Structure 1
Amino acid sequence: MALASRARALLPGARSWGAVLARVTAQRAMSHRVVVETDAAAGVAVMKFRNPPVNSLSLEMVTELVINLEKLENDKTVRGLIFTSESPGVFSSGLNLLDMYGRNPAHYAEYWKAVQELWLRLYQCPMVTVATINGACPAGGCLISMTCDYRVMADNPKYTIGLNETQLGIVAPFWFKDTLVNTIGYRASEISLQLGLLYPPAEALRVGIVDKVVPEDQVHSAALAVMAQWLAIPDHARQLTKAMLRKPTVDNLVRQRDADIQQFVSFISRDSIQKGLQMYLQMLKQKKA
């Protein structure tokens, strides 16, 4: 049975927005790292990150995200997509350091091409996309949330969001930078990127890296309310407007995609960068011990 048909069979009459999550279709997709649940009546899918302990964007998880996005884009019953996490206290820790340390250049190139592909699909996604940031959201996790049309963050001072690459001795690529500049403006991005700042909820709202901060138990209901507002706009008008606004940023990466991969491989292969990553990974192991 097709996904849409299965959803209709399981969710007859599911119309109200308040019941979307309570009555989502139990459609488990792909593997343990990504779970997709769809409410066909509401036209909304929820994509849950399930790659414990911290939802790091491993090559396997990135690949699954891309495949699931493609499937949802081809499902005409789905107009909106909500991202969230099943890992307590973490939305996504970002890029997987184990894919960037101690590997060969071919692996680095494969990994970076997959990360590029994920960003290109997310940033151009025709669906309405809402991030429910229900945990820490640094680096690549922040990038995923910034590709969304709207970001709702849980009001928990333990949760922070930002591109903190410089704190790890890494430089955020130009398309990470472009996404941040498009979100919070040039000067705020200049300060944020150079210092590798991570913003708690209230500060994240002030700087504009998130759009709404709500109590932790209300992030999903707030996302559904936002989704209802955005889905009230005719799809073709909204999609064309989104594409027009984002096309220059997308084109900037597309033109330089191969060069960006080569630059990443060259940078991440440096002895100084590898040693820095090794020290950071050892520090993380000591914290866990």
Structure 2
Amino acid sequence: VKFKSPPVNSLSLDFLTELSIGLEKLENNRGCRAVIFTSAIPKIFSAGLDITEMCGKSTEHYAEFWRAVQNIWLRLYGSNMVTVAAINGSSPAGSCLLALSCDYRIMADNPKFVIGLNESQLGIVAPFWFKDTFVNVVGHRIAERSLQLGSLHSAPEALQLGIVDELVPEEKLQDKAAAVVAQWLALPDHARQITKSMMRKSVLDRLLTHQEEDVQNFVGFISKESIQKSLRMYMEMLKKRKG
């Protein structure tokens, strides 16, 4: 699956909905046992959640957008397929969550590429299920420090912290991802799937139990004028950078 939504694969409502439908189709296809995620756009895996979806819109829109974010995570984190992220560019915030939700992460060995849950830099708080996913990958202490600081880690640092499993030269990324998939698919599916479910069930159940509450929390938080103001300032800063 190649992300292709120029300029930076922002996770908009349309993008998330399309990705969710695509994953559901693959999941229902008996012949598909694994999926590799990568980007068709150079230097960027995805810029994360689309800020324009969270700024200056109605509360109904915020709720719809947040449900789409929840749904893609529930589908990906709970997938029966082998999921591999071939991260061929920077991967901040929501895009880091997608990578963390996969079974295995391989990143292009380029110190200019960064990855992390940097929400706190924008004045946003990463929800509990983002946090749980991160803790399950890197452990409590690294997740706590990284989330509080909103850190974006370079590829070598991400490997050192365990955010990604391997670094390979960019031109070898797809071959390596295919080799990893082959290694995982050599195991009996049912044993791997049951083990995965056992490891991830409590985290998935936690969101499923509090899904509507989480939507309302997000809508209440994102609708605050102080948060809207910091998002507007961030968008202005991005415009100036481009300019």
Under TM normalisation by the shorter chain, which class is it?
A: over 0.9
- Which aligned pairs between 1:179-218 and structure 2 lie closer than 5 A? 179-218=133-172
Q: CA deviation digits over 1:83-133, x for unaligned, max 9?
A: 000111000111000000000000000000010000000000100000000
Question: Alignment partner for residue 143 of structure 1, among 94, 97, 103?
Answer: 97
- Which amino acid in the other structure matches residue 103 of structure 2? D
Structure with greater contact order relative to length (CA < 8 Å, sep ≥ 6): 2
| 4+ residue segments displaced more than 2 Å | none
The C-alpha deviation readout for 1:172-216, integer Å capped at 9, x for no partner, is 000000000000000111100000111111110110000000111
Partners of 1:132 and 1:147 in 2: how far apart? 13
Distance in 2, matches of 1:103 and 1:88, equals 30
Q: Distance in 1 between matches of 2:38 and 2:142?
A: 26
Per-residue Cα deviation, 1:144-167 (whole angstroms, up to 9, x for no partner): 000100000000111000000011
Residue of structure 2 in register with 1:271 after alignment: 225
Separation (CA, whole Å) in 1 of partners of 2:53 and 2:23: 22
| 1:253-268 equivalences in 2 (<5 Å) | 253-268=207-222
Is 2:5 the partner of 1:55? no
Partners in 2 of 1:244 and 1:283 — Cα distance? 44
Q: 2:71 aligns with which of 117, 120, 137?
A: 117
- Hey, what does 1:239 align to over in structure 2? 193
Unaligned regions of 5+ residues in structure 1, if any?
Answer: 1-46
Q: 1:81 aligns with which of 35, 38, 41?
A: 35
Q: Identity over the aligned pairs, expressed in percent?
A: 60
1:98 aligns with 2:52: yes
Aligned residue number for residue 111 of structure 2? 157
Deviation track 1:23-71 (CA, whole Å, cap 9, x = no partner) reads: xxxxxxxxxxxxxxxxxxxxxxxx0100111101000000000000010
Secondary structure in structure 2 of the residue aligned to 1:76: coil
The letter for the 1-side match of 2:178 is L
In 2, Cα distance between the equivalents of 1:85 and 1:67?
A: 18
SS at match of 2:153: coil
TM-score (norm 2): 0.99
Question: How much has 1:286 moved relative to structure 2?
Answer: 1.0
- TM-score, normalised by the number of residues in structure 1: 0.84
Q: How large is the RMSD of aligned CA atoms in angstroms?
A: 0.5
Quick one: which amino acid aligns to residue 282 of structure 1? E
Alignment partner of 1:226 is 2:183: no
Following the alignment from structure 1 to structure 2, what is the Cα–Cα distance between the partners of residues 287 and 145?
26
2:56 pairs with 1:128: no
Report the 3-state secondary structure (helix = DSSP H, G, I; strand = E; otherwise coil) of the residue aligned with 1:56: coil
Relative to its length, the structure with more helix (as a share) is 2
Q: Secondary structure at the match of 2:62?
A: helix
How many aligned residue pairs are there?
243
